[in-house]
């Protein structure tokens, strides 16, 4: 059962993290809309963050809710989140490998992405308890966390900011983990 949830998490990331949002985002930058967004990069970052966050978190919420109505397994969110997170972490580390300039830099990239794996599992748990407790506020919090992360990373990629992605991911992931744990403990 656990392996099934893990692989469903992987497939869900491919669908809701890549196949659905990427073509929509491509319309923003590879069509005549490009001229508008080249002059309004902050708006582009906000829209990209919103698209990615809503697609992923609402997609995971829907898939887990459908599975839970049949299985009623409380290990669903952990294994689903690990599936989603492991693939995301592998992708992030592989993408960041071209940026490694030293052992310390490479170590920071790997550690920050492993901590972000824990944050992704936490976001998945927020999605899970949102439908389990019939409290949509957990899903909204998960979407906001995801939106902020993606918008800021995209803005940094477009050179609107100039900071280390790895340090930001590390610090932000720790914030997500801590805040979500507090919210979960207060509401369970």
SS3 for 153-171 is HHHHHCCCCCCCHHHHHHH
**Collapsing DSSP states into helix, strand and coil, what is residue 134?**
coil
- First-to-last CA distance in the chain? 25
Q: What is the number of domains present in the chain?
A: 1
| pLDDT band at 188; cut points 50, 70, 90 | low
Query: For the segment 127-142, what is each residue's pLDDT rounded down to a tens digit?
Result: 999 999 999 999 999 9
* Paired tokens of 111: 């550690």
Q: Which domain holds residue 61?
A: 2-187
Tokens 């967004």 belong to: 37
Query: For the segment 162-182, what is each residue's pLDDT rounded down to a tens digit?
Result: 999 999 999 999 999 999 999
Residues 6+ apart with CB under 8 A from 112: 166, 167, 169, 170, 173
**Collapsing DSSP states into helix, strand and coil, what is residue 30?**
coil
CA distance 125 to 61: 10
Q: What is the mean pLDDT of residues 143-156?
A: 97
pLDDT, averaged across the chain = 93
Say if residue 1's pLDDT is above 70. Answer: no
């Amino acid at each position: 059962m656990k392996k099934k949830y893990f692989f469903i998490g992987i497939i869900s990331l491919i669908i809701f993290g890549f196949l659905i949002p990427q073509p929509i985002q491509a319309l923003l930058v590879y069509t005549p809309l490009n001229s508008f967004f080249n002059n309004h990069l902050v708006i582009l970052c906000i829209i990209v963050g919103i698209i990615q966050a809503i697609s992923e978190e609402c997609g995971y919420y829907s898939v887990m809710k459908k599975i839970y109505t049949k299985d009623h397994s409380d290990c669903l969110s952990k294994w689903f989140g690990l599936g989603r997170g492991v693939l995301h972490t592998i992708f992030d580390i592989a993408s960041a490998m071209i940026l490694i300039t030293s052992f310390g830099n490479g170590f920071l990239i790997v550690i920050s992405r492993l901590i972000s794996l824990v944050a992704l599992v936490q976001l998945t748990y927020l999605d899970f308890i949102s439908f389990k407790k019939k409290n949509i506020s957990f899903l909204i919090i998960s979407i906001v966390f995801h939106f902020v992360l993606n918008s800021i990373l995209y803005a940094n990629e477009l050179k609107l900011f100039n900071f280390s992605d790895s340090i930001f991911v590390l610090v932000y992931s720790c914030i997500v983990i801590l805040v979500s744990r507090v919210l979960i403990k207060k509401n369970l």
